[in-house]
Protein backbone atom coordinates (compact mmCIF):
# COMPACT_ATOMS: atom_id res chain seq x y z
CA UNK A 1 0.00 0.00 0.00
CA UNK A 2 2.77 2.42 0.93
CA UNK A 3 4.52 1.58 -2.35
CA UNK A 4 1.32 2.21 -4.33
CA UNK A 5 1.00 5.68 -2.79
CA UNK A 6 4.64 6.53 -3.50
CA UNK A 7 4.39 5.25 -7.07
CA UNK A 8 1.49 7.64 -7.63
CA UNK A 9 4.19 10.34 -7.41
CA UNK A 10 4.39 11.84 -10.94
CA UNK A 11 8.19 12.07 -10.71
CA UNK A 12 8.44 8.32 -10.17
CA UNK A 13 6.15 7.67 -13.12
CA UNK A 14 8.28 10.02 -15.28
CA UNK A 15 11.48 8.30 -14.15
CA UNK A 16 10.02 4.93 -15.17
CA UNK A 17 9.20 6.32 -18.61
CA UNK A 18 12.74 7.72 -18.94
CA UNK A 19 14.24 4.38 -17.92
CA UNK A 20 12.66 2.81 -21.01
CA UNK A 21 15.15 4.83 -23.06
CA UNK A 22 18.21 3.86 -21.02
CA UNK A 23 21.14 2.89 -23.21
CA UNK A 24 22.94 0.31 -21.11
CA UNK A 25 24.18 -2.50 -23.38
CA UNK A 26 27.37 -2.97 -21.33
CA UNK A 27 26.19 -3.01 -17.72
CA UNK A 28 22.57 -3.98 -18.48
CA UNK A 29 21.80 -1.74 -15.48
CA UNK A 30 19.05 0.59 -16.61
CA UNK A 31 18.40 3.84 -14.75
CA UNK A 32 15.79 6.59 -15.09
CA UNK A 33 15.64 9.84 -13.14
CA UNK A 34 13.12 12.67 -12.93
CA UNK A 35 13.67 16.06 -11.32
CA UNK A 36 10.66 18.02 -10.11
CA UNK A 37 11.10 21.79 -10.08
CA UNK A 38 9.56 24.25 -7.62
CA UNK A 39 7.13 25.26 -10.37
CA UNK A 40 6.07 21.61 -10.71
CA UNK A 41 7.73 20.85 -14.03
CA UNK A 42 9.43 17.48 -14.41
CA UNK A 43 12.65 16.80 -16.34
CA UNK A 44 13.99 13.36 -17.02
CA UNK A 45 17.21 11.56 -17.84
CA UNK A 46 18.41 8.02 -18.46
CA UNK A 47 21.85 6.49 -18.34
CA UNK A 48 23.76 6.53 -21.63
CA UNK A 49 26.71 4.16 -21.85
CA UNK A 50 29.61 4.04 -24.27
CA UNK A 51 31.97 1.45 -25.73
CA UNK A 52 34.63 3.42 -23.88
CA UNK A 53 33.12 2.31 -20.57
CA UNK A 54 34.37 5.21 -18.47
CA UNK A 55 32.35 7.68 -20.52
CA UNK A 56 28.95 6.36 -19.38
CA UNK A 57 26.78 9.09 -18.03
CA UNK A 58 24.20 8.79 -15.34
CA UNK A 59 20.45 9.33 -15.51
CA UNK A 60 20.57 11.94 -12.74
CA UNK A 61 23.02 14.22 -14.50
CA UNK A 62 21.04 13.84 -17.71
CA UNK A 63 17.95 15.11 -15.88
CA UNK A 64 19.86 18.07 -14.39
CA UNK A 65 21.18 18.97 -17.81
CA UNK A 66 17.69 18.85 -19.38
CA UNK A 67 16.27 21.06 -16.64
CA UNK A 68 19.04 23.65 -16.71
CA UNK A 69 18.92 24.03 -20.48
CA UNK A 70 15.16 24.67 -20.10
CA UNK A 71 15.97 27.53 -17.71
CA UNK A 72 15.08 25.71 -14.48
CA UNK A 73 17.40 25.83 -11.47
CA UNK A 74 15.10 25.34 -8.50
CA UNK A 75 14.45 21.73 -7.68
CA UNK A 76 12.41 20.07 -4.96
CA UNK A 77 12.71 16.38 -5.63
CA UNK A 78 14.47 13.77 -7.72
CA UNK A 79 13.02 10.32 -8.35
CA UNK A 80 15.43 7.53 -9.29
CA UNK A 81 14.39 4.15 -10.66
CA UNK A 82 16.46 1.30 -12.04
CA UNK A 83 16.19 -2.22 -13.33
CA UNK A 84 17.36 -3.46 -9.93
CA UNK A 85 14.66 -4.68 -7.52
CA UNK A 86 16.36 -2.62 -4.81
CA UNK A 87 16.33 1.17 -4.51
CA UNK A 88 19.20 2.82 -6.42
CA UNK A 89 21.03 5.72 -4.77
CA UNK A 90 22.65 8.47 -6.84
CA UNK A 91 26.42 7.99 -7.32
CA UNK A 92 28.84 10.35 -5.59
CA UNK A 93 29.45 12.44 -8.70
CA UNK A 94 25.72 12.97 -9.21
CA UNK A 95 25.25 13.92 -5.55
CA UNK A 96 27.81 16.67 -5.99
CA UNK A 97 26.21 17.94 -9.20
CA UNK A 98 22.75 17.93 -7.61
CA UNK A 99 24.10 19.83 -4.58
CA UNK A 100 25.12 22.73 -6.82
CA UNK A 101 21.46 23.58 -7.28
CA UNK A 102 19.60 22.06 -4.35
CA UNK A 103 21.52 21.08 -1.22
CA UNK A 104 18.21 20.16 0.46
CA UNK A 105 16.77 18.17 -2.46
CA UNK A 106 14.35 15.38 -1.55
CA UNK A 107 15.37 12.02 -3.01
CA UNK A 108 13.02 9.15 -3.70
CA UNK A 109 14.58 5.86 -4.83
CA UNK A 110 11.94 3.51 -6.15
CA UNK A 111 12.96 -0.12 -6.54
CA UNK A 112 10.62 -2.78 -7.81
CA UNK A 113 10.23 -4.19 -4.31
CA UNK A 114 10.96 -1.26 -2.06
CA UNK A 115 10.91 2.53 -2.11
CA UNK A 116 13.17 4.70 0.05
CA UNK A 117 12.84 8.40 0.71
CA UNK A 118 15.79 10.47 1.90
CA UNK A 119 17.44 13.82 1.23
CA UNK A 120 20.59 15.04 -0.48
CA UNK A 121 21.63 16.69 2.79
CA UNK A 122 21.75 13.20 4.31
CA UNK A 123 23.50 11.51 1.40
CA UNK A 124 26.05 14.30 0.93
CA UNK A 125 26.64 16.32 4.06
CA UNK A 126 29.21 19.12 3.74
CA UNK A 127 29.15 19.20 -0.07
CA UNK A 128 31.67 21.45 -1.77
CA UNK A 129 29.69 24.56 -2.72
CA UNK A 130 30.19 28.01 -4.19
CA UNK A 131 30.82 29.42 -0.71
CA UNK A 132 33.91 27.24 -0.40
CA UNK A 133 35.45 28.97 -3.42
CA UNK A 134 34.97 32.39 -1.87
CA UNK A 135 36.77 31.53 1.37
CA UNK A 136 35.96 33.07 4.71
CA UNK A 137 32.65 31.27 5.03
CA UNK A 138 32.06 29.11 8.08
CA UNK A 139 31.73 25.51 6.91
CA UNK A 140 28.77 23.54 8.22
CA UNK A 141 29.97 20.06 9.07
CA UNK A 142 27.14 19.47 11.52
CA UNK A 143 25.81 16.48 9.61
CA UNK A 144 29.17 14.77 9.20
CA UNK A 145 30.02 13.42 12.61
CA UNK A 146 27.25 13.10 15.16
CA UNK A 147 29.60 11.01 17.32
CA UNK A 148 31.85 13.99 17.79
CA UNK A 149 28.95 16.24 18.69
CA UNK A 150 27.80 13.73 21.28
CA UNK A 151 31.21 13.62 23.00
CA UNK A 152 31.31 17.39 23.27
CA UNK A 153 28.06 17.48 25.24
CA UNK A 154 29.54 15.45 28.14
N1 LIG B 1 24.06 4.79 -13.07
C2 LIG B 1 23.16 5.80 -13.12
O3 LIG B 1 22.72 6.22 -14.21
N4 LIG B 1 22.75 6.37 -11.95
C5 LIG B 1 23.07 5.89 -10.71
O6 LIG B 1 22.61 6.42 -9.72
C7 LIG B 1 23.98 4.75 -10.58
C8 LIG B 1 24.64 4.31 -11.85
C9 LIG B 1 24.42 4.10 -14.31
C10 LIG B 1 25.80 4.33 -14.81
C11 LIG B 1 26.03 3.07 -15.65
O12 LIG B 1 25.47 3.25 -16.94
C13 LIG B 1 25.21 2.00 -14.95
O14 LIG B 1 24.30 2.71 -14.13
C15 LIG B 1 26.02 1.04 -14.10
O16 LIG B 1 26.86 1.71 -13.23
Its pTM stands at 0.87
What is the 114 CA–ligand 1 centroid distance (Å)? 18
Q: Rounded to whole angstroms, what are the CA distances from 35 to 13, 88, 99, 139, 151?
A: 11, 15, 13, 27, 39
Tell me what the mean pLDDT of segment 45-67 comes to.
Answer: 98
Q: Confirm if 96 and 67 have CB atoms less than 8 A apart.
A: no
Helix axes 59-69, 92-101, angle to 10 degrees: 20
Is the confidence at residue 45, as pLDDT, over 90?
yes
| Best of 82, 90, 95, 111 for a ligand 1 pocket test (most atoms within 8 Å of beta carbon) | 82
Predicted confidence (pLDDT) per residue in 124-144, tens digit: 998 999 988 887 665 666 666
Q: How many CB atoms lie within 10 A of CB 15?
A: 30
Q: Confirm if 117 and 107 have CB atoms less than 8 A apart.
A: yes
- State the closest ligand 1 atom to the C-alpha of 46, by its place in the atom list counted from 1: 3
Residue identifier of the C-alpha nearest atom 5 of ligand 1 = 90
- The rounded radius of gyration (Å) of the Cα atoms in the chain is 17
Paired strand residues for 80: 33, 109
Q: Confirm if 28 and 51 have CB atoms less than 8 A apart.
A: no
- Dihedral pair phi/psi, residue 66, rounded to 5°: -60, -40
Residue identifier of the C-alpha nearest atom 8 of ligand 1 = 58
Q: What is the mean pLDDT of the chain?
A: 89
Would the CB of 15 count as within 6 Å of ligand 1?
Answer: no
What is the 33 CA–ligand 1 centroid distance (Å)? 10
Task: Report the alpha-carbon distance of residue 118 to residue 11 in Å, rounded.
Answer: 15
What is the 71 CA–ligand 1 centroid distance (Å)? 25
Q: What is the pLDDT of residue 39?
A: 95
Residue identifier of the C-alpha nearest atom 3 of ligand 1 = 58
Amino acid sequence: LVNDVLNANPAIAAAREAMKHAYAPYSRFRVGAALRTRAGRVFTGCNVENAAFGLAFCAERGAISAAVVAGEREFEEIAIVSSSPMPTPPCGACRQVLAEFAADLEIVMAGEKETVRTSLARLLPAAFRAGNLAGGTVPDYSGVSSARRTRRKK
